Amino acid sequence: MNCQSHQLLGRLLRTTHGSRRRFGVPSRTPVLCLGLYLASGLLFGSLFAAVPVLKIDVGTIPLQPNLAGQPVTLDLKNEEPGTVQVQGFAFRVEVVEAGSTPAITGVELVDGTPWQGVSLWFPPVYSSQEPHYWDVQLAANPSTGAHAEFAPSSLTQAALLTFDTTGLSSGSWELRLTDHILYPGDTAYSPYDPGSTIPEDEWPVVAVNGQIVIVPEPADTSLILALIAAGWCVVGRRAARRRHD
């Protein structure tokens, strides 16, 4: 069981312990407590195991050198066989600093995503817009039953990021959606609950952190290949002359 299930279990056992005399239970009942512990563990374990799995795999993202306004799309995969209904989404992304790094200059969570057209309880809230860390949150309006839907076994756009590599010609950096180095919180979502008036607790998105890499421009690559080819030609001519002599 995870920490939340242990906390719930702890409250259950404390409540049972405090009221057991009222029900005529002897003051020392280790077998009963053990039975409650195991039964509660099975109950809460089954509840937490039923949480839908939503996954974002960052992978390796290529960026051009010394260029602003580079869009990058991150997709979210619903690994469940059924539709997953979501009421809230918190997107937290960090470029792990290692000297000069590409800057995040924009995060879009609505246009082009399942949130487009959904009645929002509040528009995207930008809790942080630092060059290396953005924390953006939104939620559907619970009073109208609004929510976003992710189709079974689907891959849909979760976020559109914009990067700026001005002043950078090469390098690679970690891009994290979870396990942030300098900032709290992970990318997470709130499942839709028709009976709730506010979004429920956050559940972490299964995120596979990745990296961003600045790659040479095609012209630079062509120049490098041309220089290599010219070098081999010179070497070949010299070798031919030696054989001829």
Give me the sign of the Cα torsion angle 43, 48, 51, 53. negative
In a domain, 239, yes or no: no
- 203 and 153 belong to one structural domain: yes
- 111 and 212 belong to one structural domain: yes
- 27 and 133 belong to one structural domain: no
In a domain, 227, yes or no: no
Gap between the Cα atoms of 17 and 23, Å rounded: 11
How buried is 202 (Cβ within 10 angstroms: 0-12 exposed, 13-18 middle, 19+ buried)?
A: middle
- 72 and 32 belong to one structural domain: no
Q: Which residues contact 122 (CB under 8 A, 6 or more apart)?
A: 138, 139
Q: DSSP letters along 89-109, please?
A: EEEEEEE--SSS-PEEEEEES
- Beta strand ranges found along 96-233 (DSSP E): 103-108, 120-130, 133-140, 148-150, 155-164, 171-176, 188-191, 203-204, 206-208, 210-214
Q: Which residues contact 75 (CB under 8 A, 6 or more apart)?
A: 56, 155, 156, 157, 158
- 114 and 88 belong to one structural domain: yes
Mean pLDDT of the region 130-153:
94
- 63 and 26 belong to one structural domain: no
- Please check whether residue 200 is in contact with residue 148, taking contact to mean a CB–CB distance below 8 angstroms: no
**57-83 tens-digit pLDDT:** 999 999 999 999 999 999 999 999 999
Per-residue pLDDT for 148 more than 70? yes
Q: What is the predicted pLDDT for the residue at 194?
A: 85
Gap between the Cα atoms of 101 and 104, Å rounded: 10
Of 33 and 63, more confident? 63
In a domain, 243, yes or no: no
- 32 and 65 belong to one structural domain: no
In a domain, 103, yes or no: yes
- 124 and 179 belong to one structural domain: yes
Q: What is the predicted pLDDT for the residue at 143?
A: 85
Q: What is the predicted pLDDT for the residue at 200?
A: 64
Q: What is the predicted pLDDT for the residue at 31?
A: 34
Mean pLDDT of the region 159-178:
97
- 35 and 60 belong to one structural domain: no
Per-residue pLDDT for 229 more than 60? no
- 93 and 211 belong to one structural domain: yes
> What is the span of the domain harbouring residue 164?
54-219
AA identity, residue 60: T
Number of domains making up the chain: 2
In a domain, 20, yes or no: yes
CB atoms within 10 A of CB 54: 24
